[in-house]
């Protein structure tokens, strides 16, 4: 059996303002058919349609901070969900003032959404669990930007151990015991024989993870939260030629993001949130790759499977 889905779709990769080729920040992450929308820049719903994503399947939206290029798409997306008669609830994980903004918009337009919204306010101090079910956990951690901003860590829960059927053949075993074995326990079967877990099970594939870091100044304090991730998305608003500007505006350069990916032991770095001044994205790869080999460029519509 193949592994369960763990797939990221880039919906927008521009910073500040959309261009004809790049929408502003938004990404859709599918882990085992749970759809997480991460940031919601202007027009995110158009991109969801363009790339044939099932936007009514989104049950959790994560907003990193309240600069417009990260949430201006939210009113439109919620409105379309409403107009399509959505019923299931939606949870929005975000800085608290976003609820006030949405409340005003709904009030002046006399809109009562067709579905309940649960607000889960983020706290940009510490490492906080925002979401958990039987397969996935999502955590927030502080980024350092001009206004309160959090990164997000999406992590598959440890998978169950695999049964080695050949090794288990010689024992009488119940379904309940198989369940215990899959969860790592030793069991004593009905014949009173102790069956050691390591004799009859195999390690599962390691659980996968994705970290999202936008927007932030180069900040080594995030390393503890993103250690060993399979895929690190880190903003690269600028190249080193604008390092001073990056620092002044609380953004990061491609070379700096590559350093963080390398020092965190990430397997891959995805770059994005490019300043509109850059038209040749290859320059980001050229700058980052000598520091960290495994770099990818976010472009609108790009899919990455982990
Ligand atoms: Zn931004």
10 C-alpha vs ligand 1 centroid, how far in Å?
A: 15
Q: Where are the alpha helices (DSSP H) in the chain?
A: 44-50, 74-83, 97-108, 165-168, 175-182, 197-200, 223-226, 243-248, 254-264, 282-288
pLDDT mean over 182-194: 92
Taking the model in full, what pTM does it have?
0.92
Q: What does the pLDDT look like over 84-97, one tens digit per residue?
A: 999 999 999 999 99
- Mean pLDDT within 205-224: 96
Please tell me the distance from the alpha carbon of residue 30 to that of residue 213, in angstroms, as a whole number.
18
Residue 69 falls in the annotated catalytic set: yes
Spatial distance between the Cα atoms of 227 and 185, rounded to a whole number of angstroms: 28
CA of 177 to the centre of ligand 1 (A): 51
**Residue 131 CA to ligand 1 centre (angstroms):** 24
For 40-97, the pLDDT digits (tens) are: 999 999 999 999 998 899 999 999 999 999 999 999 999 999 999 999 999 999 999 9
d(CA 228, CA 221): 15
pLDDT of residue 159: 87
Q: How many angstroms separate the alpha carbon of residue 245 from the centre of ligand 1?
A: 15
The percent of the chain in helix, strand and coil, each rounded to the nearest 5, is: 30, 30, 45
Catalytic residue among 39, 69, 177, 230: 69
Where are the strands (E) in 58-149, listed by range? 58-62, 90-94, 117-121, 128-132, 136-142
Quote the ligand 1 centre to 18 CA distance (angstroms). 11
CA of 199 to the centre of ligand 1 (A): 51
Q: For ligand 1, an ion, list residues with CB under 5 A.
A: 15, 67, 69, 215
Lowest mean pLDDT among 10-19, 23-32, 167-176: 167-176
* C-alpha 274 – ligand 1 centre gap (Å): 9
The pLDDT of residue 3: 78
> Token pair of 139, please?
């955590």
Helical spans, DSSP H, in 187-253:
197-200, 223-226, 243-248
**What was the pLDDT predicted at 20?**
86
Q: Is 49 helix (H, G, I), strand (E, B) or coil?
A: helix
Residue pLDDT, tens place only, 253-276: 999 999 999 999 999 999 999 999
**2 pLDDT tier (thresholds 50, 70, 90):** low
Averaged confidence pLDDT in the chain? 95
- What pLDDT, in 10s, does the model give residues 124-165? 999 999 999 999 999 999 999 999 999 999 999 988 899 999
């Amino acid at each position: 059996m193949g592994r369960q889905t763990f797939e990221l779709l880039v919906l927008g990769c521009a910073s500040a303002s959309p261009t004809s080729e790049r929408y502003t920040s938004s990404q859709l992450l599918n882990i085992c058919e749970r759809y997480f929308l991460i940031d919601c820049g202007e027009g995110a719903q158009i991109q969801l349609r363009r790339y044939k994503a099932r936007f009514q399947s989104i049950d959790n939206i994560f907003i990193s901070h309240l600069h417009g290029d990260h949430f201006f798409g939210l009113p439109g997306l919620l409105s379309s969900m409403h107009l399509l008669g959505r019923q299931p609830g939606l949870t929005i994980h975000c800085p608290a003032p976003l609820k006030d903004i949405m409340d005003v918009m709904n009030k002046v337009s006399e809109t009562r959404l067709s579905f309940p919204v649960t607000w889960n306010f983020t706290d940009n101090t510490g490492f906080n669990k925002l979401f958990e079910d039987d397969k996935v956990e999502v955590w927030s951690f502080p980024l350092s930007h001009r206004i309160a901003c959090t990164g997000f860590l999406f992590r598959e829960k440890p998978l169950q151990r695999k049964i080695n059927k050949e090794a288990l053949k010689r024992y009488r075993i119940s379904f309940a015991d198989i369940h215990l074995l899959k969860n790592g326990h030793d069991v004593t079967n009905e014949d009173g024989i102790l069956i050691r877990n390591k004799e009859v099970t195999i390690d599962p594939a390691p659980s996968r993870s994705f970290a999202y870091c936008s927007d932030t100044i180069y900040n080594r304090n995030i390393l503890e939260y993103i250690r060993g991730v399979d895929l690190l998305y880190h903003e690269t608003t600028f190249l080193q030629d604008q390092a001073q500007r990056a620092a002044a505006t609380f953004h990061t350069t491609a070379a700096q993001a590559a350093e963080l990916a390398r020092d965190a032991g990430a397997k891959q770095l995805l770059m994005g949130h490019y300043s509109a001044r850059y038209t040749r994205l290859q320059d980001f790869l050229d700058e980052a790759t000598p520091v960290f080999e495994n770099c990818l460029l976010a472009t609108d519509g790009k899919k990455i499977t982990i």
